[in-house]
Amino acid sequence: MSCLGFLTAAQREALAASSAAGAPLSTFASPAASPGKTRRVRSLAGSADARIRESAALSAHAPHDVLTVLAGDPISSVRACVARNAGAGPLLLRRLSGDPEAVVRAWVAANPQVTDDVLQLLIGDADPSVRAVVEWAGRWPAQEGGTR
C-alpha cells in the first residue's frame, strides 16, 4: 500500500502551502517570561556552583533584584556576567564600574546600555584592558538616552 494513499488532494495542497517560499520559517519566539521561568532564574542564582550563578546573571529574564544580589557575588566571573547583561540597568552598571576586578569593569564598558557618564568614569581606569574597552565602546554610535 502506497503511503501516498493517506493524503487527500486537499492535504497535499495544504502541505505545499505551508512550505511556500518567502514566508519566515519561524517567529523565533521563546516561551514568555512566565512566573515559573522567573522562579527558575531565582533558583539558579542561589546555586552553590558559580557556573550556574553565571547563567542566572546572563539570563535575559533575570529580575532586577536577582541581578542586584549577583552584582555582589564573591566570585568575579558572576559579577562580570551581571555587567554583560543588557538588562542590568544604569544603577547596577554604575555600581559595577567601581568593581575591584578589571574584567568586571571591562564588561561594564562593553555593555550596550552603558551610559556616557559611566564610560567617563572608566576612561581613566588604572587597567589598560579596561581603557581599551572604553575606547572601543566610544566608537559605537551614541543612542537615545546617552547609551552606547
Partner 1 sequence: MTQTDVRPDQTFRGILGTGIEEGLLLKPVTYQWAMDLYDQAVANTWFPNEIQLGEDLADFERMSADERAALTHLMSYFNPNELLVNKALAFGVYPYVNAAECHLYLAKQMWEEANHCMSFEYVLETFPIDRAAAYESHVTVPSMAAKEEFEVRFIKRMTEQTLDITTTEGKQDFVRNLVAYNVILEGIWFYSGFMVALSFRQRNLLRNFGSLVDWIVRDESLHLKFGMNLVLTVLEENPDVATPEFADEIKQMILDAVEMEEAYNRDLLPNGILGLNADYINTYVKYLADRRLDELGFGAHYGVANPAKWMAAANDTLQLVNFFESTNTSYEVNARQG
| Cβ closest to partner 1, residue 110 vs residue 123 | 110
Q: Which is nearer to partner 1, 12 or 51 (CB)?
A: 51
Contact flag: residue 7 with partner 1 (CB under 8 A): no
Q: How far is the C-alpha of 66 from the C-alpha of 87, rounded, in Å?
A: 11
Q: Taking CB under 8 A as the rule, does residue 115 contact partner 1?
A: no
Tell me: does residue 51 bind partner 1 (CB under 8 A).
yes
Is 24 a binder of partner 1 (CB under 8 A)?
Answer: yes
In one letter, which amino acid is 8? T
Residue 109 has what DSSP assignment? H
3-class DSSP state of 49: coil
Eight-state DSSP code of residue 1? -
Residue 34 binding partner 1, by CB under 8 A? no
CA distances from 143 to 21, 63, 90, 147 (A): 36, 24, 14, 5
Total number of residues shown for the chain: 148
Nearest CB to partner 1, comparing residues 13 and 135:
135
Residues 53-112 touching partner 1, rule: CB under 8 A, are 54-56, 58-60, 77, 80, 86, 102-103, 106-107, 110, 112
- Among residues 143, 148, 144, which one has the least CA distance to residue 118? 148
Binding region for partner 1 (CB under 8 A):
24-31, 44, 47, 49, 51-52, 54-56, 58-60, 77, 80, 86, 102-103, 106-107, 110, 112, 129, 132-133, 135-136, 139-140
